[in-house]
Structure 1
Amino acid sequence: MRNRSWAIAMTVAIVITVGGLVILETARERIAAEYESALEARDVTVQLSTLESQLERLSAYQANFLLTKQVARAQAYCTNATRLRQTIQQLNTTYYRREADSAEQASFSQIAALIEARIGAGVTAMQQATPQPLALAACGTASGAQTVDGALIDSTLSLLRDNETRRAQQALDASRADQRVSTLCAAALSALNIVLFILLFRNLGIQIDRQARVQRQLITQQEELDQLVTERTRQLEALGWHLQAVAENEKTQLARELHDELGAILTASKMDVAWANRKLKDSEPAVAEKLARALANLDQGIALKRRIIEDMRPTVLANFGLVTALRTLADEAAQRNNWMLELRLPADDIQLDEQTEIALFRVAQESLTNAAKYARASRVSIGLQIDEAQVALSISDNGVGITPADLKRTHTHGLLGMRQRVAAHGGQFDIHRGVPSGTDIHVVMPCARRAMPLDDIAPAAPSERSL
């Protein structure tokens, strides 16, 4: 009898459990479907709000262009128009995918047509506002100058948003009702299997304690590794800054030695050879010809020495300041590469601290070298802005442009060197692809500006000019 009662109890328990699981699964599927419907309605509401904000930005760009006549505002208008069409396409796909009623489809089709007319009217207005034709192909074909009822668009959007909010609320209410049913079934199953749950919770508690101990150990190890990585990174950055400083000092020392020692030797040799050439020009023509060739070789050696010194430690930077050095560097690079040059430099030369001038000059030098090697540019622009707190250097070209892959490569020592050089002095270095092409480099560094009129700039040393 006891076995029979046990078998009946087990059978009833199994039937109840299976039935409860079936009810729970059915309720789960309904809840999931209703929740997805609510999420979709909320997404549509957000997209409609986005559409409305994009319409407002479209009007703002048009008004700004009509006031300022800036081509960039017209381009921004076209970009925003493209985003508008993308949002409309997404909404159109959503409405047809869920088989919305014909009234909503008709309302949305009406909005889409009105917005397209609004975009075209804006293009026409901007084209008529300027005597020069604008490149607004991205906006699409301009329609006739027709009046678009903005209030109708706003009211229809508000109506669609209200419908989506109502649909989301209904789905959430149905989901809550199904959740209550599933909660009751879960409570019944919990009461039926309370003993098993106690045992499971006991085992689960043991496992959770074990996992918590392991997790704490992992967190401790991770913190130690993070500290180690941070320390190593700081050491590497300090080493990089030190190496750059050592390299600059060595360049300065070597340039000074080349100028003082080698320059004096070459100059003295040139004077002696020139004297001998004048003495033997008439009596020994063959020897005079050799001496003339020696003079030419000495001139080449002096020119080579000057180029080496200028590369290691530009004398124009030391003698005339950053503005003149940048202008000279840009002019020479433009002549070598046949560039169209645009300079936005201060009219008066200024004097910064030595390390800041060197860092900015090296960044400009490396940037122009990269532009000559890789950019295939025809136009280069250099700008320098200085105030009491900081100095900003900008360099841009219209070449092929740098790619994200180039920025991530670890063997691009030129970029890394520029970043470290700027960071070593507390500055910010930014490089990105230009629009629509080319490369833009922007450097901002703190500085202590000291005005130095051009009349007070000391001229180059006579020995340097003679070499």
Structure 2
Amino acid sequence: MPNVQNVSTTQRPGAAARLSDWMRNRSWAIAMTVAIVITVGGLVILETARERIAAEYETALEARDVTVQLSTLASLLSRLSAQQNHFLLTKDDASAQDFCASAMQIRHSTQQLNQFYRSRNADSAELASFTQILALIEGRIGAGAVALQRAAPHPLDLGACGSTSEVNAADAALIDSTLTLLRDNEERRAQHALAASRADQRISTLCAAGLSALNIVLFILLFRNLGIQIDRQARVQRQLITQQEELDQLVNERTRQLEALGWHLQAVSENEKTQLARELHDELGAILTASKMDVAWANRKLKDSEPDISDKLKRALANLDQGIALKRRIIEDMRPTVLANFGLVTALRTLADEAAQRNNWTLDLHLPADDIQLDEQTEIALFRVAQESLTNAAKYARASKVSIALQVGDGQVALHIADNGVGIMPADLKRTHTHGLLGMRQRVAAHGGQFDIRRGVPNGTDIDVMMPSVSTATPSVDLPPSTPSRTPV
């Protein structure tokens, strides 16, 4: 037995500690849940009390309105009696007409009250009392009209007064006492509704105060636990900041290496294009030229004796001419001879003229009259951007007009290209697989420039490039650059 008691005593503190740890770790969640439940419950209670108070105020206002109407009806009945007595004394027809006018007002007032008492707001006893009053009032009006007709020296037009048949005169005291009874009932109903609304207001105030006190206590507990959690998060945050700084350093290093690699690959690509263009010009050009000379010689020899063979040779000469033209076009795309021999301005003008002829464009050129001296890498970058832009305009823009502008000043050169086509969509600017745009951005950024492409107004595409007149691109120390050279084509 002692051993069992020791085991139980040992287990209980462990369970209590676990429960305490669980409560401490989850106390903020428990406090938040209880606060939400209490808040929602309090809001429901307050909303219910508000609706009850509103309904009670409406009841009180309605009872007061009915009381005023009953008082007005009593005053109209008094005025009716006064007008009847005045006619009996003076025999003035105007008093008879006033009597009928008052009768009409009384009937209008009783119609409004009748609608109220026949609604769900009035009980059966009140409805019976008011029905009795209606009969008494009609009897009073009818008896008064008959009295006027009897006392008048000549027949009166009392059609507005209603029935003028012989009826029993209504007891005015009974009418007044019944109206007083109804007014007292409505006054009590209004007082009862106001008292109930005041009680509901006090209850709502007590509920709001209790709800606020409970929420204050719960929020104190919540903020206490939040303070503990914030301290823990601060320690974790400091660790994350340290790790983030290390990652930032690593990312910056990798970014620098990638930028250097991109610059190096562009330089290598330009050098390979230059070398390939030179080989195509020297080797393939020599082969095609020699073949054309041989075929032309054979065609002259066989022109008269073998006309069929001469026709085949003429076709071969035409194919050789197409091959030479294709070779020249490929060389121009890889390493424009105009750019190498005549400079950027002439190269841009030639590129634009050829593109306009192929696509039936209207050109708007704003280029310097004389050629400008720029760094070779800057010239290549600007020419490639213009080449890619015109290619995109031909493929996707469906444009009819293209404008190109080149300006140099203050150590910078600016290139602007615009078309009036369908325009680039904002979603296309965010796509990562648009290698043409990425290539232009990378080429310009690698030489220290800025590249901006946007949708034109109202349509079309605008491209702006701003670069230093001397290239600021520097290769990585780990990636020795190749030295590009101009192509002597």
Q: Name the TM tier (shorter chain).
A: 0.5 to 0.7
Partner residue in 2 for 1:430: 452
Residue of structure 2 aligned with 1:325, choices 343, 347, 358: 347
Give the match for residue 383 of structure 2. Answer: 361
Aligned to 1:332, the other structure's residue is in SS state helix
Q: Distance in 1 between matches of 2:354 and 2:320?
A: 24
**What's the CA shift string for 1:309-356, capped at 9, x where partnerless?**
011111111111111111111111111111111000011122322111
Which residue does 2:79 correspond to in 1? none
Q: Does 1:297 align with 2:300?
A: no
The equivalent of 1:225 in structure 2 is 247
Superposition map of 1:264-275 within 5 A = 264-275=286-297
Q: Which of 417, 423, 439 is residue 417 of structure 1 equivalent to?
A: 439
Q: Which moved more, 1:209-218 or 1:367-376?
A: 209-218
Higher relative contact order (CA 8 A, sep 6+): 2
Quote how far apart the aligned CAs of 1:254 are: 0.3
CA distance in 2, matches of 1:258, 1:402: 36
- 1:20-79 Cα shifts (integer Å, max 9, x gaps): x99xx99xxxxxxxxxxxxxxxxxxxxxxxxxxxxxxxxxxxxxxxxxxxxxxxxxxxxx
In the alignment, the residues of structure 2 paired with residue 435 and residue 206 of structure 1 have an alpha-carbon distance, to the nearest angstrom, of 56
Inter-CA distance 209–374: structure 2 relative to 1 (3 Å threshold):
same
Describe the shift of the 1:277–1:201 C-alpha distance in structure 2 as closer, same or farther (beyond 3 A).
closer
- Is 2:381 the counterpart of 1:381? no
| 1:342 corresponds to which of 353, 364, 370 | 364
Aligned to 1:97: none
On the 8 A contact 1:382/1:396 being kept in 2, the answer is yes
CA distance 1:286–1:425, change in 2 (3 Å):
same
SS at match of 2:274: helix
User: What letter corresponds to residue 311 of structure 1 in structure 2?
Assistant: D
1:282 maps to 304
Q: Where does 1:98-177 land on structure 2 (aligned, <5 Å)? A: none
Q: CA deviation at 1:219?
A: 1.8
Structure 2 distance, partners of 1:427, 1:201, is: 52
Q: Which protein shows a greater Rg?
A: 2
Distance 1:204 1:375 in 2: 57
Q: SS state of the match for residue 433, structure 2?
A: coil
The unaligned stretches of length 5 or more in structure 1 are 1-20, 27-184, 450-459
- Distance in 2 between the 1:446 and 1:269 partners? 47
Letter paired with 1:225: L
8 Å Cα contact 1:388-1:448 kept in structure 2: no
Aligned counterpart, 1:312: 334
What SS does structure 2 have at the residue aligned with 1:437? coil
Displacement of 1:242 in angstroms is: 1.9
* 1:249 alignment partner, one of 266, 271, 275: 271
Instruction: Could you tell me which runs of 5 or more consecutive residues in structure 2 were left unpaired when the two chains were aligned.
Output: 1-37, 44-208, 472-486
Task: Specify which of 417, 429, 445 is matched with residue 407 of structure 1.
Answer: 429
TM-score for both structures, normalised by structure 1: 0.52
How far apart in 2 are the matches of 1:422 and 1:204? 50
TM-score (norm 2): 0.50
Contact 1:339 1:378 in 2 (8 A): yes
The one-letter code sitting in structure 1 at the alignment partner of 2:355 is A
Structural mapping, 1:181-196, within 5 Å: none
Superposed displacement of residue 445, structure 1: 0.8
- Secondary structure at the counterpart of residue 350 of structure 1: coil
Measure the CA separation in 2 of the matches of 1:204 and 1:312.
65
Q: Deviations over 1:413-457 (max 9, x none)?
A: 0000000101111111111111111111000111149xxxxxxxx
The letter of the residue matching 1:272 is D
User: Which residue among 192, 211, 214 is the counterpart of 2:233?
Assistant: 211
1:436–1:282 distance in 2 versus 1, CA, 3 Å: same
Q: Does structure 1 conserve the Cα–Cα contact (< 8 Å) formed by 2:274 and 2:335?
A: yes
- 1:446 and 2:446 are equivalent in the alignment: no
2:150 alignment counterpart:
none
Aligned residues: 268
Percent identity of the aligned residues? Answer: 85
Q: Distance in 2 between matches of 1:203 and 1:296?
A: 89
Aligned to 1:282, the other structure's residue is in SS state coil
Indicate if the aligned counterparts of 2:451 and 2:464 stay in contact, CA closer than 8 A: yes
* d(CA) in 1 for partners of 2:322, 2:223: 90
Separation of aligned partners in 2, 1:204 and 1:260: 78
Is 1:372 equivalent to 2:394 in the alignment? Answer: yes
CA 1:226–1:297 in 2, change beyond 3 Å: closer, same or farther? Answer: same
Which 4+ stretches in 1 moved above 4 angstroms?
A: 199-208
Alpha-carbon shift at residue 238 of structure 1 (Å) = 2.3
Q: Secondary structure at the match of 1:384?
A: strand
Q: Show CA shifts across 1:255-279 (max 9, x none).
A: 0000011101111111122122212
Label 1:208 to 1:434 Cα distance change in 2 as closer, same or farther (>3 A): closer
Counterpart-to-counterpart distance in 1, 2:328 and 2:388: 19
